[in-house]
Amino acid sequence: MEFSKRRKLNLAGDQKNACYPHSLQFYLQPPTENISLIEFENLAIDRVKLLKAVENLGVSYVKGHEPYQSKMEAEIRKVKFSYRENLEDEYEARRKDHISHFILRLAYCQSEDLRRWFIQQEMDLLRFRFSILPKDKIQDFLKDSHLHFEADCSP
């Protein structure tokens, strides 16, 4: 068995943007990079904390209302996940979001109850993150995701 030190990927700005063009993801492709066991564990723990917060906030507040929105933003910011466009180190936050989603996807596939819980929390998180996207970013995300929807312009 061979062990080596983890090398950090040094990507230029355009390459980083190509990896994660939006703060919102559908997690279609699993990550392919190697990560250390420590990072794997930390990413999993942070994602579980985030999903537990999503669950607790969903029980304590009305989803979509101001108190829920502000508490959710605070929780996501606390564990340093990507949720808004144009943050300083957006690549690392998006990378963390991507890899940690797949780690928990593996961990929570062991039973139907775990799967249901995981899917519900991820759906609530996606719904929240989609709701705070600016209009132009929504259109970019839909276009890049090959989703064809027309904006409702009725009063």
| First and final C-alpha spacing in the chain | 65
Q: What is the pLDDT of residues 116-137, one digit of tens each?
A: 999 999 999 989 988 888 777 7
- Structural domain spans, the chain: 35-144
Under CATH, what is the fold of the domain 35-144?
Transcription Elongation Factor S-II; Chain A (1.20.930)
H or E element that contains 54:
helix 37-60
pLDDT of residue 21: 59
Q: What is the pLDDT of residues 26-77, one digit of tens each?
A: 777 888 889 999 999 999 999 999 999 999 999 988 888 899 999 988 888 8
pLDDT of residue 22: 62
**Greatest C-alpha distance within the chain:** 65
